[in-house]
A = this chain, B = another copy of it.
Amino acid sequence: MIEQKYKVVADYCQNGIPAIQRTGLTITDISERYAKVKMPLEGNANHIGMMYAGSLFSIGEISGGVIHGASFDTEKYVPIVKEVSIRFRRPALTDVTLEVTITKEEADRIQNEAAQNGKADYTLDLEIKDAAGEVVSIVHGIWQIRKLPEGFASPFPKM
C-alpha cells in the first residue's frame, strides 16, 4: 500500500534517475519508515536467463534512498551512498522484492546526529527475495544523510 503522504517519494525513487527508471523497478508499498520494492525479471535478465547482478544491486542501493524519503525530513536532508556489498547467494529466476525498515529510535538518532554534525551514517542489511520467498542476494550498505546548506533547494520533491 502506498501511503498518500509518501507517494511523491515513491514516484521520485522510481522515476527520478533514468538508469533506475529503465529497469522497471517499482515501490509497491511505502509508509512511515517502511518500504517494499520490486524489480521485474523482464528486461533485467542476463545472458543465461537469471536476473542481472546490476539490477539486483540497484534494488538494494535504491532502498537506502527510499527509506530516507520515508524517514527523514527531505526538505533539510539528502542521502548519499558510501559503500555497498552484495553477495549473490543463488540465481534469481523470478521478479524479486526487498523490504526495508528502520525503527523510530534509529531514525531519530540519525536525524539528530545530522542536525548537530551536518551528516550522519546509517547502515542497512537487506535481503532480496524471489517469488518463493528464498533469499537470492544479501546486501550490506552504508549511506549518509547530509544537511542541505541554508537556502539550498532539496532535489527531493515537496511532500
Interface residue ranges, A against B (CB under 8 Å): 12, 16-20, 22-23, 43-48, 52-55, 57-58, 61-62, 78, 80-88, 155
In Å, the complex CA distance between A59 and B31 comes to: 34
Q: How many copies does the complex hold?
A: 2
Q: A44 with B19: in contact, given A58-B54, A84-B53, A88-B82 (CB under 8 Å)? A: yes
Interface of A is mostly: mixed
Across-interface contacts of A23 in B (CB, < 8 A):
19
In Å, the complex CA distance between A19 and B85 comes to: 20
Q: Is the pair A47, B87 in contact by a Cβ cutoff of 8 Å?
A: no
Q: Is the pair B88, A47 in contact by a Cβ cutoff of 8 Å?
A: no
In Å, the complex CA distance between A16 and B58 comes to: 19
Across-interface contacts of A12 in B (CB, < 8 A):
47
Q: Is the pair A57, B47 in contact by a Cβ cutoff of 8 Å?
A: no
Q: Is the pair A17, B52 in contact by a Cβ cutoff of 8 Å?
A: yes
Across-interface contacts of A85 in B (CB, < 8 A):
83-86
Which of B48, B57, B78 makes the CB contact (< 8 A) with A57?
Answer: B57
